[in-house]
Amino acid sequence: MGYGSYSYENRTTRATTLGYTTKSTYEIFQQKNINSAMSPYGVDIREARDSEDHPESFPIVIALDVTGSMGSVPHFLVKEGLPNLMKRIIDDGIKSPQVLFVAVGDHECDSAPLQVGQFEASDELLDKWLTDVYLEGGGGGNSGESYHLAWYFAGKHTVTDSLEKRGKKGVLITIGDEPVLRDIPLLALKNIMGDGQYETYTAVKLFEMAQEKYDCYHLHIKQTNSGSRKHVQDGWKQLLGDKAVMIDRREDIAQKIADIVINSYKVGTTENQPSLNEQTDKSEVKPTTTIKEEILL
């Protein structure tokens, strides 16, 4: 996938025509259940490939929490965040970004805990996959959400020319306001993905697996009730170190994604760069780029 190109001007015109800037969340996101095209069941691979128009594609996975109040994040991206994000990274020299939208919920409670689009380059197709997301609004009273499903899918079910041809990782960014669930049982994976050989994975293992292909970050939204809790924030900082980035408002998401993508693209990996998480208080938490299994115990 990944045909076509992103036009900020065309996207701005279409947004006005379709009412993206004025319609409510559920006027835009009208799916009543998971779109069959975004179901991961039976999916083998999602590909980010080079083409004549895009000889050096760069894969970007954006994984959105679609439980509870997090439905406001996809809405913000449709209204203004996505076009501003795409314009900035293209203007900064990433000429062939290919974006895959993923939606995550709670595998213990939700009917659609994982949704996956396709890697796309054009403004029209990116809007299509984003607005096809089913905002289930679920989650539960358990200990977190299934952000690790995005790590699983990226690590096991994506292939990119950027890595295979040029040895350059893409970028994977999960976004949410809850902790990550400790593990994903093999039976849950089978129910989500279909027939195949599975095992039970910890969140730590899945993050490490995704890190083999992508420079992985988590954006934690502090704006919600759960997101504002210090123990939740500290849990992410202790788990991922400077890969966990604290965001005060959802309106800051596009800028922070652009910062991460541009930095990662230019240096190949951001691990040896100064932390992008300006909110971390290092006097309270000493971040590390090695995630810690015991945090989830």
Q: Is residue 143 part of a domain?
A: yes
pLDDT at 288 over 50: no
How many separate domains does the chain show?
1
Please indicate, yes or no, if residue 3 is contained in any of the structural domains. Answer: no
Report the alpha-carbon distance of residue 149 to residue 201 in Å, rounded. 10
Give the range among 49-58, 74-83, 277-286 with minimum mean pLDDT.
277-286
- 97 within domain boundaries: yes
- For residue 60, is it within any domain? yes
Distance (Å, whole) CA 14 – CA 216: 32
- Return d(Cα 63, Cα 260) in angstroms, integer: 14
Q: What is the pLDDT of residues 16-40, one digit of tens each?
A: 999 999 999 999 999 999 999 999 9
CATH number of the domain encompassing residue 114: 3.40.50.410
Contact 121, 50 (CB under 8 A): no
The whole-number pLDDT of residue 280 equals 38
State pLDDT tens for residues 215-268. 999 999 999 999 999 999 999 999 999 999 999 999 999 999 999 999 999 987
Predicted confidence (pLDDT) per residue in 117-146, tens digit: 999 999 999 999 999 999 999 988 788 999
CA distance 62 to 47: 15
Domain presence at residue 1? no
- Token pair listed for 107: 């595998």
Q: How many CB atoms lie within 10 A of CB 274?
A: 9
Q: What is the span of the domain harbouring residue 270?
A: 8-296
Domain membership flag for residue 187: yes
Determine what percent of the chain falls in helix, strand and coil, rounding each to the nearest 5: 40, 15, 40
Residue 43 within a domain: yes
pTM: 0.91
DSSP per-residue codes, 13-33: HHHHHHTTTTS-HHHH---SS
Question: Is residue 47 included in any domain, yes or no?
Answer: yes
Q: Which DSSP symbol is given to 6?
A: -
Q: What pLDDT is stored for residue 296 in this prediction?
A: 57
pLDDT value for 274: 43
Answer yes or no: are the C-beta atoms of 48 and 165 closer than 8 Å: no
